[in-house]
Amino acid sequence: MPKLQRPRIGVVTYPGSQDDRDALWALTALGAHAVPVWHEEQELPGLDAVVLPGGFSYGDYLRCGAIARFSPATAAVCDFAAAGGLVLGTCNGFQILCEAGLLPGALVRNESLRFVCRDVWLRVERNDLPFTSRCAAGQNLLIPIKHGDGRYLAPPDLDPSQVVLRYLHNPNGSVDGIAGVCNEAGNVMGLMPHPEHAVDPLLGSDHGGLLIASLVDAARSRALAAA
């Protein structure tokens, strides 16, 4: 694919990030020019979108994502999002986006108190977002989860239209089975499941590729519009 058509999508690596390499790999496989971004970087290097990956940033001390929220790269991501930039957070990335106030709600200890690691089915509630355009509304996706703190608590005033994904069988006690939400403007999304681990049928499912390829599509059209 010619370079121009490969949108530049950054993946932030914090101390303790785990899935940054999988995210870079998945983005590359699905047509992006994936760019590693170190957590100390104060400016994002000319990106069309950015992904905050899973893991245990800063050891997840205090609360998951609470310390990563104050890293220089997160500040840059907040500015990027405020300017309308596309931001996707998976797992720990979702927790960081909630702590940073880019997404509503909070993620707390699973109701079972157990770390849950398995494939789960999700229902796509909205396909009009840059993160879900390749899905059909109501489509079911098989994507793995692996988390101990994935129980989503919604703020009382959450607009139901901000719910993007729901678990078919609630694995962690999340309110209303919520697995993923977006901000009001629809340019920031977070989800506990790991789409970057589900981009090849060899690994059990390629349904996560629909979400990541949607992001690549959206980032590409933004890059072409800006060119």
Partner 1 sequence: MKVTVLVRPKGGILDPQGEAVGSALAHLGFDVKDARVGKVIDLELESADAAAAKAEVERMCERLLANPLIESYEVEVHG
Catalytic residue ranges: 91, 194, 196
Burial of 165 (0-12, 13-18, 19+ CB in 10 A): buried
Question: Tokens 């506990």 correspond to what residue?
Answer: 192
CB of 99 to partner 1, least distance (A): 7
Least gap, CB of 101 to partner 1 (angstroms): 10
H, E, C per residue of 93-128: HHHHHHHCCCCCCEEECCCCCCCEEEEEEEEECCCC
Cα end-to-end span (Å), the chain: 17
CA distances from 63 to 13, 17, 107, 117, 179 (A): 18, 15, 9, 20, 19
What whole-number distance in Å separates Cα of residue 41 and Cα of residue 75? 10
- Residue 221's Cα: distance from chain center in Å? 19
Amino acid letter, residue 86: L
